Amino acid sequence: MARKAFLFFYIQYSQDKHFIIFSFHSLIPSFYHSIISPMDQYVLRDQDQREIDRLGFQHDVWRTESLRLLDLAGIGVGQKVADLGCGPGFLSREVADLVGKNGEIHALDSSERFIGYLEKYVRPNGFEQLFPQQADITQSIPIAPNTLDAIVMRWVLMFVDKPDQVIQHAYTALKPGGTFAVMEYFNFCEIKLWPSSAIFEEVYKAVHQLLGSFGGDADLGGKVAGKMKQAGFQVQEVVPIYKVGKTNSPLWQWLERTSVNHQNLINANLISEAQLAAYHAEWHQHAQNPHAFLQAPPVMITIGKKPLY
């Protein structure tokens, strides 16, 4: 079956059958890896590099919003910062530039292959202030308590099954007065095409449901402020971001590149073969229309501060 792009997140593709898709079990603390990575390996394989390239492209598309996250977090020279769930570290590298050589950016991820990539290819190439570390952040953040000036997170909490625990660990690791900056989707089903498309919306509703059935939450961005307050943070900023792109814009290409194996939506009885065919036809038709638009799922930036006393 032709696999025609889109639907995103790491409900990721498996053209070469190397990625195990949807082997998630609710007892596994983080389902992210059971979805995208069959075996964490230090040595990069072709599909690892493709995934890193895709995340790099995603970073470029969302860079303006991500720099806003770092700006609102007040990241600056000499600070000690952590990026939790850093992936291949595109956000960490922006932080590294901001903190400079006298600062520290601790890039934490549960993926051995992302951490290996950072150690082998990124840190030795001008990023000595970047310290990669493998860690399951739902279990702990292996950094001394009360030592971080800031923690940043982008598109991670939506994938973990215990976001409250992660937020509590973040609270512990931050200095009094330290900043916690989070960027996540909210109201996910607001993803839209224009001219509007009922089948597009149906398919994304199915993606939302599928993610939820694995313990994830594509609307988590709307809940972070409440969770931060519960953990003891003072919420300083809640900034919703809407992003729209025309046919063939970087945003359009981003959705095209972020493929999913749609068959999984069918296997889970969330859509039918006929709906999938209609979806592909609709996307193709919109792609021919130079005046069509894509509205991405809205993103929420939430900034919390650990009180001084």
Ligand X SMILES: C[S@@+](CC[C@H](N)C(=O)[O-])C[C@H]1O[C@@H](n2cnc3c(N)ncnc32)[C@H](O)[C@@H]1O
* Residues that bind ligand X in the complex, under the rule CB under 6 A: 10, 29-30, 32, 55, 59, 85-87, 90-91, 109-111, 114, 136-138, 154-156, 159-160
Q: From 184, 173, 189, 102, select the one nearest 140 (Cα to Cα).
A: 173
Smaller CB separation from ligand X, 65 or 202: 65
Strand order in the sheet with 299-305: 130-134, 104-109, 80-84, 148-154, 174-185, 299-305, 234-241
Q: How far is the CB of 291 from ligand X (least distance, A)?
A: 31
7, 98, 276, 307 from 200: Cα distances, Å: 10, 39, 9, 44
Task: State the DSSP string of 262-287.
Answer: THHHHHTTSS-HHHHHHHHHHHHHHH
Smaller CB separation from ligand X, 204 or 293: 204
Which residue pairs from 271-276 have beta carbons closer than 8 angstroms and sit at least 24 positions apart in sequence?
A: 271/202, 271/203, 271/206, 275/199, 275/202, 275/203, 276/203
The rounded distance, in Å, linking the Cα atoms of 33 and 21 is 9
Smaller CB separation from ligand X, 216 or 293: 216
Smaller CB separation from ligand X, 159 or 283: 159
Q: From 163, 159, 179, select the one nearest 171 (Cα to Cα).
A: 179
Position with the least CB separation from ligand X: 87
Smaller CB separation from ligand X, 153 or 199: 153
Smaller CB separation from ligand X, 231 or 271: 231
Smaller CB separation from ligand X, 32 or 127: 32
Q: How far is the CB of 284 from ligand X (least distance, A)?
A: 27
Task: State the DSSP string of 103-139.
Answer: SEEEEEES-HHHHHHIIIIITTTT-TTEEEEE--TTT
Q: Tokens 């590298």, residue? A: 93
Tell me the residue type at 164: D
Q: How far is the CB of 87 from ligand X (least distance, A)?
A: 3
Q: How far is the CB of 85 from ligand X (least distance, A)?
A: 3
The rounded distance, in Å, linking the Cα atoms of 94 and 175 is 22
Q: How far is the CB of 156 from ligand X (least distance, A)?
A: 4
Q: How far is the CB of 22 from ligand X (least distance, A)?
A: 16
Q: How far is the CB of 295 from ligand X (least distance, A)?
A: 20
